[in-house]
Structure 1
């Protein structure tokens, strides 16, 4: 099927003009031989209707790589392994509706770009992220015996068993793609199945998420962080098994220093991905698991406000944003903030809660469980998973409007309205609630 026929299928409209424009960002550092293989393979892509705009993004090589006419070369200073920043540098140089990422040691097969575009087009919703199929081979040995690497990659069965030139592919990735129906049924932790060596996104989604997190420096994590934020904000994930890229060398799982590398990656992700199996439940983080907007429509005595806010802190990995007025009653707690959370915080939060009437949270775990499949509403509170909110712009809305107070019969035992008639007797409240 050619690209023009694919344009009529259900899903995102990625066409531009009379063809299909695709930006391809190839990352590079001090590896001109492998880069030549990648660029030669991109020149041999088999769908002539795709207009490929190729950018080589160099992460500070001492000598600039040589690139063919028509290929853009961009460079950044050598300030450590900055894969996130160099990928953003390459992506921001283009304007096509699709941006694909390839590592400079991963050689695409002839149908790679077309298969990636097909997978992005199939995915509905608020943009899409696709990961191809990375296979492993000793391409350096292929070249050393005089064979043409580009032809070898095009002709070799990616499902061939490991033997000689072909090296083992990670089984956990294969199992994950099978379990999730090629990520169509991706769940909470399946962002781990995305690898940026063979990744692509619709540009609107990439730009809405502000690309890769450039504060990540060193081995790994930038792809999982972006994939988590994408999935968490409703971007569809897809795996394109026909989009094969051959990586020269074994999987990282065979590296002798893997444990040390993974330690740094895991600690970096703990600060960014708030899922309990990544960071635990009880730390205080800049990007919390639960964002609470405290916007009660009526005032309440300081004692009542203290009791209410203290109860919402039972969510543990939580940040409470109170708009222009930061309550004095919890002035020393860094989880209670004035102003509004940043877009970055909202992209990472698993749950967003609007408290539009002064309410006490009685069952923290019950609230999160109640909004697992759809928003939960009760007692002047609306709670939802970030990815289930109907409009991605709703996550960053600052003009919260107080809704009606539903009957406590609907809300109980999860929330309880704070009494409106004067100060709360905290001594009696404490004996009843806190002891």
Structure 2
């Protein structure tokens, strides 16, 4: 079968309210995505709280490419490629640690954690070769927004803040839930491997049309009212921030209820220390509003998903394989709240969790379905007739409308055409 990427322009497969199935399974298109999206856009890599001390490091990735997120010996946050420039061996096999140098296990070349080669093994064999020629590869652009570390393989382009645009407000909303305005991602990551194309996951994260059906059994067993937030009578909104960033905005529903911490299924009296800490930090009125609005439900293109109580990172491995890295959000200065966040994360997306199992089943069914030739086109037309602009100029729609999905594909088309 001829690769569509070699025989067609991908833009011909994307229309305002439908996309062609081959966008999900064509290997040539996947290779183009790596080049034009994952190696040119800003991509979320990690959080500064994962490397709090000088010489801390943690292994991460940009798409399938392994990188080292390093708090180097000079105090800078940097991203190094996890590849020895001698013979290409994986330089560091440990998930995390603290070290000022990295030594390749194959031939014992040693590098500073700033990337420079510091020594050859049996150096006489190199006859005084210039060590500066053999530095580690590095991600050329690294930027941090309020602790969130992003990297780009493109040597130039828009600033991170310009790229984030309106999605910055979602990250600000998230951090407001900490009495100290900071996250500490200290709970560790679970990894879930899915036999599906990464874009099925991307589209699903801010899809408000599926939860009442896919997760209906969970809502029923737990006697939860959450399902109603995704129904026809909901006041919640879907939003397209532009640049592929999207949101499922539950604040209209939480504001209608007007009860602090209702978004988390609890009350102020059950978290008294947290409530008092929030009031001390923000003042009673502002703290009350923050605890009503809660944490956001936002997908930052192409790989960072803030799911109210969890943080997901999408990693495409192949055209038909994706890993989801997930951890419980932990708010600095909120120990009792954080304990509940960890417990709820394990119950929903842990190894025996309810929600992620439901979603993963749908992703894999979607991918198998994409391989069926008829119909070739998949529709994304829900709510197109009632799509409108909010006060900030962003497209919004009803909670069950496909505003986010259309926004994702518009941005995707612009990147693939570049």
TM-score strictly above 0.5:
no
Which is greater in Rg? 1
User: Which structure exhibits the higher relative contact order, with contacts defined as CA atoms closer than 8 Å and separated by 6 or more residues?
Assistant: 2
